[in-house]
Structure 1
């Protein structure tokens, strides 16, 4: 006697539950746990940044729309100020004093002069530091005896505090200082406009060129030696290897270095403040902000806000149009 097992139809078949690999569940759980720990560890840093950066920026912007307390020129009474709207910005950007053009020598007329001085220092110092830093980086990238000692020695100027560097070059550029002795000149380096500007530029280049050199050196070390060897086999000259291999491959690190230094010079304060006190047309935007604080916090808030927006705009142009993206550079470097 034969027994037949009835076939189960597809309609009545019990669906099979999807099988999950134990390793995948463990990996997902680990990723969630790591994300929570990362958030918990980053939270104190984010709170600290909000306290020391976000709050002062918001407070400065709020103050920039308020009037400074002082005597009313019409009534002669002391007033506490109040809402000023965009009057502070009109005062600085339009060089307006009570609806009229500011006379020479007033703070309103000094704004565009400080802006021009700041960008002059930025353009000249960044160009010189980039050229010299690239040259130093190429030398330090080669293999020779004593390379480690030279790399350590290059860090010495950069490690010196800016205030100490400024005071050091202040004595060097004095009328009876070592610069005039070596050159055999009698130049008032900090007593006239262009000598004072070039004294500040030389001081800044001496201090921060090693910073540029080290950042560019990091980019040079990511270029494989095989690329240069292949170019030599193909008959490429030294100039062709530099323009066709070195510059394109080191561009991410180079642009990040230029971005850092540009933003740093746009906020320059220590060197001109100590060497010249901002005299002889060496007043930068940061010096102007500090000087204006003594006159009124709200008006200084407008200048500081304009300075912040200027720095932000320059950083945006570098990252958006010139490719100075530190995150992108690090990602591309990790893929090589």
Structure 2
């Protein structure tokens, strides 16, 4: 006669809720201790400079008082530094008139226009050429590794070296004029200097776009394209209806990175054209204007840098918000289509 050992009821019961919560609380506390050094480092490296710049932006720059002609220390300025950049109005004997080209407000809005011009044109060109390069690098052919390495060379060159390289190319007696059989002042004219920066920036950063897009292309299964080909889809149809939707998340990440980078462009126009060209500020971007303003007044420059930060943050927020919604819809529609 076999006997069965009764299992205690306590062994079948789940773990008490109190002990489970205690264990979860311990995990959260451990995670907080692990990320605390990183958060402290970010607060010192990023948080303190941002807070310091915002505080300085509400202070007056020390200088001569226009009424008395005597040197005065700075004090609380309120939003005066911001209004000088955004809403400056110039007055004359006849009343309020438009500010001259050299005024702070005119410099700021000119720099905003130049910055967004460079951003839009370069990102569009880099996306088109980068996609083309990524498709080439994604194909299987002999010597593909050498081609990939050669395409990435411009991106590996430091920006300062790239600027000097293209400075010699766009010189009056440089290679560009010799090949085109023209005599264009590339770094002195208004629009020629802008196109010189656009060409140089596109040449340097297109490999970066191609690398990120290539990562997205390699995630597309070969069976998807083969199935579309068996269904009778042409090359153009497969590109727009298969490749583009599947590579869209990686493409949007690449475009976002380049937009944020282009909005902060400084070294290439500063070295290639010294921020000049044409009337003297044809290639002056927001970052160049901030650096130039630091030499005249740090508090006013802090206000300008804060405005620049808010512009870039707003563009990034709108960009991520808009594209993030599209990514969710695309993934949901693809999942519904496979069910």
Equivalences for residues 198-277 of structure 1 within 5 A: 198-277=195-274
The C-alpha deviation readout for 1:282-309, integer Å capped at 9, x for no partner, is: 0000000000001101100111011100
Is residue 181 from structure 1 mapped to residue 182 from structure 2 by the alignment?
A: no
Match of 2:121 in 1: 124
Alignment check: 8 A CA contact 1:90 1:96 kept? no
Distance 1:293 1:260 in 2: 27
**How far, CA to CA, are the matches of 2:329 and 2:215 in structure 1?**
15
Instruction: Decide whether the 8 Å contact of 1:278 with 1:287 is kept in 2.
Output: yes
Give the corresponding residue for 2:80: 87
Instruction: Report the counterpart of residue 61 of structure 2 in structure 1.
Output: 68
Unpaired runs of 5+ residues, structure 1, are: 1-14, 330-336
Residues 1:175 and 1:47: Cα distance change in structure 2 (over 3 Å)? same
Structure exhibiting the larger radius of gyration computed from Cα positions: 1
Residue 50 of structure 1: how far off its partner (Å): 1.1
Are residues 178 and 222 of structure 1, via their aligned partners in 2, closer, same or farther at CA, if it must alter by over 3 Å?
same
Q: Which residue of structure 1 lines up, in the alignment, with residue 160 of structure 2?
A: 163
Q: CA deviation at 1:41?
A: 3.9
Tell me if 1:302 matches 2:303.
Answer: yes
* TM-score, normalised by the number of residues in structure 2: 0.85
Counterpart of 2:313 in structure 1 is 312
- Is the CA contact 2:84–2:104 (under 8 Å) kept in the aligned structure 1? no
Give yes or no for contact 1:118–1:266 (8 Å, CA) kept in 2.
yes
What is the match of residue 47 of structure 1?
A: 40
* Aligned mates of 1:294, 1:327 — CA distance in 2: 47
| Inter-partner Cα distance in structure 1 for 2:237 and 2:143 | 29
Q: Is the 8 A contact 1:71 1:77 kept in 2?
A: yes
Q: 3-state DSSP class of the match of 2:187?
A: coil
Distance (Å, rounded) in 1 between the aligned partners of 2:59 and 2:14: 63
Q: Which residue of 86, 110, 113 corresponds with 1:113?
A: 110
The count of aligned residue pairs is: 315
Distance of aligned partners of 1:30 and 1:173 in 2 relative to their CA distance in 1, 3 Å threshold: farther
Instruction: State how far apart, in whole Å, the 1-side matches of 2:55 and 2:108 are.
Output: 20
Query: Is contact 2:197–2:272 with CA below 8 Å preserved after alignment?
Result: yes
Tell me the CA shift for residue 327 of structure 1: 12
- TM-score norm. by structure 1 comes to 0.86
Select between 198-207 and 98-107 the one with higher mean Cα deviation: 98-107
Whole-angstrom distance in 2 between the partners of 1:32 and 1:325 = 36
1:146-195: CA deviations, max 9, x gaps?
A: 11111122221111111111111111111111111111111110011111
In the TM superposition, structure 1's runs of 4+ consecutive aligned residues that sit over 3 Å from their partners are 15-22, 27-41, 96-102, 324-329
Q: Is the 8 A contact 1:190 1:199 kept in 2?
A: yes
Matches within 5 A, 1:126-145: 126-145=123-142
More displaced 10-residue stretch of structure 1: 157-166 or 315-324: 315-324
How large is the RMSD of aligned CA atoms in angstroms?
2.9
| Distance of 1:327 and 1:273 partners within structure 2 | 40
CA gap of 1:105–1:327, structure 2 versus 1, over 3 A, is same
CA distance in structure 2 between the partners assigned to 1:29 and 1:67 by the alignment: 53
Contact 2:126–2:202 (8 Å) recurs in 1 = yes
| CA pair 231-327 structure 1, distance change in 2 beyond 3 A | closer
Distance 2:29 2:181 in 1: 67
Residues 145 and 116 from structure 1, CA distance in 2 versus in 1: closer, same or farther, beyond 3 angstroms?
Answer: same
